[in-house]
């Protein structure tokens, strides 16, 4: 079983690696880089939502926090190694604190959604209002709605003059995504990951078996925050500017759409979903006939109604059916309908009596 999973992971990595090498000959590598970064962002939510059952409406917070941490530190230091690490560590720490606050308070699904949404709004409003010269961290002005431009982008560690950019940066991001993917796979195969999935399926049962559910959920949430922070850091280097828009609800919404369309309960699904939809958005942005928001809204509504499992799991299911049998195992491991929905129905039933 574990051996099979290992082989599957290896196959995914090899295929993705080959795709990464071929990619630049098909699509401009500048665009591809941001697709990879979005893929990583979607992976972070795919991990905590698809495997941990934690629906976070504010994954953009960690994305923006990573980018801002990097930008502020890079402006002050002028070399990218420490800022790069800070761009991962700060979102990790913040996600840990936020997660601890929520999970030790035993907040259930909708309330979790509200709190993460509210935190997103707080960051968005605060950062937007920091245009004045009094908002300074070291040499870095926060810049409000103008964002922070002109910081040191990614360079070879120890040599601030040797920028990693263009095609090199593309390969850097690609390899980073593969490394993150492999690490997440490893995490999920470890006892920690197994218990995380068990928590998603039945929190109470896991708790009664003696596991500290609150701590485990907090750690998983923080790991998701760190991955989102990493993607934010890379995004900052790619865009060479960070803006409050990274904290916006629209950004959070997009991450959720990527995961839903790509397929929850898988890791490849969200990544593929993010890349495909972000590229679609890029293409739609080049024409003015149809409004991009309209198309995305339509995609979200239709995929919730008709493809509740997402594209990748549905394709996998079809492939398996053609080969005959074996689909029952898949059904047992269904991601998002697992704990969340059932528990919610119970909650609704319980609370219904109070209305």
Partner 1 sequence: MDLAVVVIIQIVYSVALLVLISSGLAIVFGMMRVINLAHGEFMMVGGYATIVSVNAGLNVYFAMLVVAPLVVGILGLIVERLVIRHLYGRLVDTMLATWGLSLLLIGLATLIFGNTTTGISPPIEGFPIGDYQVNGYNLFLIVMTVLIVGAVYAVLSGTRLGLIARGTMQRSDMADALGYNPDKVYMVTFFAGSALTGLAGGLLSPLVGIVPTAGAQFIAKAFITVISGGASVIAGLLSSATLFGLVSQAFTFLVDSMVGEIALLVAAVVLLRLLPQGITGRFFKGGL
* 16 CB-side CA count, 13 A: 24
* Shortest Å, Cβ 302 to partner 1: 8
Please identify, using beta-carbon distances, which residue of 109 and 168 lies nearer to partner 1.
109
Q: Which residues of the shown chain bind partner 1 in the complex (CB under 8 A)?
A: 55, 101-102, 105-111, 113-115, 117-119, 121-122, 125-126, 129, 249, 253, 256-257, 260, 291-302, 304-305, 308, 336, 340-341, 344-345, 348, 351-355
Place of tokens 């500017």: 241
> What's the token pair of residue 209?
């078996």
We find the least distance from the C-beta atom of residue 345 to partner 1, in angstroms, to be 5
- Whole-number minimum distance, CB 150 to partner 1, in Å? 26
Contacts of 42 (CB under 8 A, 6+ apart): 255, 258, 259, 262, 270, 271, 273, 274
**Residue 169 or residue 296: which is nearer to partner 1 going by CB?**
296
Of 190 and 337, nearer to partner 1 (C-beta) is 337
CA atoms within 13 A on the CB side of 35: 21
CA-CA distance, 127 to 89, in Å (whole number)? Answer: 20
- Considering only CA atoms, which of 174, 176, 181, 175 is closest in space to residue 84? 176
Task: Report the residue number, 77 or 284, with the smaller CB distance to partner 1.
Answer: 284
The whole-angstrom separation of Cα 15 and Cα 5 is 15
Rounded Cα distance between 58 and 80, Å, is: 27
Distance in Å, CB of 114 to partner 1, minimum: 5
In the chain, what is the straight-line distance between the N-terminal and C-terminal CA atoms, in Å?
A: 48
Give the DSSP letter of residue 242.
Answer: E
Shortest Å distance, C-beta 308 to partner 1: 7
Cβ nearer to partner 1, comparing 89 with 249:
249
Cβ–Cβ < 8 Å for 312, 277? no
Total number of residues shown for the chain: 355
Q: How far is the CB of 126 from partner 1 (least distance, A)?
A: 6
CB-nearer residue toward partner 1: 22 or 349:
349
Spell out the residues 6+ positions from residue 73 whose beta carbon is closer than 8 angstroms to its own.
82, 83, 86, 87
Kindly tell me which of 297 and 333 has the beta carbon lying closer to partner 1: 297
Nearest approach, Cβ of 134 to partner 1 (angstroms)?
A: 13
Instruction: In angstroms, give the least distance from the CB of 323 to partner 1.
Output: 30
CA–CA separation, 307 vs 46, rounded Å? 17
Pick the closest to residue 231 from 246, 219, 243, 244 (CA basis). Answer: 246
In this complex, which beta carbon is closest to partner 1, that of residue 123 or of residue 238?
A: 123
């Amino acid at each position: 079983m574990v051996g099979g999973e290992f082989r599957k992971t290896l196959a995914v990595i090899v295929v993705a690696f080959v795709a990464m090498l071929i990619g630049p000959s098909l699509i401009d590598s500048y665009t591809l880089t941001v697709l990879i970064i979005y893929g990583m962002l979607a992976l972070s939510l795919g991990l905590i939502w698809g495997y941990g059952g934690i629906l976070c409406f504010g994954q953009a917070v960690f994305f923006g926090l990573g980018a801002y941490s990097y930008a502020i530190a890079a402006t002050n230091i002028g070399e990218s190694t420490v800022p790069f690490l800070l761009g991962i560590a700060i979102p990790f720490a913040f996600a840990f604190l936020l997660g601890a606050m929520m999970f030790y308070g035993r907040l259930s699904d909708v309330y979790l959604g509200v709190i993460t949404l509210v935190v997103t709004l707080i960051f968005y409003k605060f950062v937007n209002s920091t245009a004045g010269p009094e908002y300074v961290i070291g040499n870095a002005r926060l810049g409000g709605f103008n964002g922070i431009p002109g910081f040191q982008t990614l360079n070879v560690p120890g040599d601030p003059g040797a920028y990693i950019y263009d095609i090199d940066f593309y390969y850097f991001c690609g390899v980073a995504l593969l490394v993150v993917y492999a690490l997440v796979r490893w995490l999920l195969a470890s006892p920690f990951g197994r218990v995380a999935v068990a928590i998603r399926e039945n929190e109470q049962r896991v708790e009664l078996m003696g596991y500290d559910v609150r701590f485990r959920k907090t750690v998983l949430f923080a790991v998701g925050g760190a991955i989102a922070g990493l993607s934010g850091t890379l995004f900052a280097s790619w865009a060479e500017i960070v803006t409050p828009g990274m904290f916006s609800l629209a950004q959070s919404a997009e991450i959720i759409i990527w995961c839903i369309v790509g397929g929850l309960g898988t890791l490849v699904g969200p990544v593929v979903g993010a890349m495909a939809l972000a590229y679609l958005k890029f293409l739609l942005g080049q024409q003015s006939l149809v409004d991009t928001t309209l198309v995305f809204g339509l995609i979200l509504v239709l995929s919730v109604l008709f493809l509740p499992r997402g594209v990748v799991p549905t394709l996998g299911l079809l492939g398996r059916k053609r080969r005959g049998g074996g689909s029952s195992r898949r059904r047992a491991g269904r991601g998002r309908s697992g704990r969340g929905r059932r528990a919610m129905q119970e909650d609704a039933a319980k609370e219904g009596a109070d209305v």
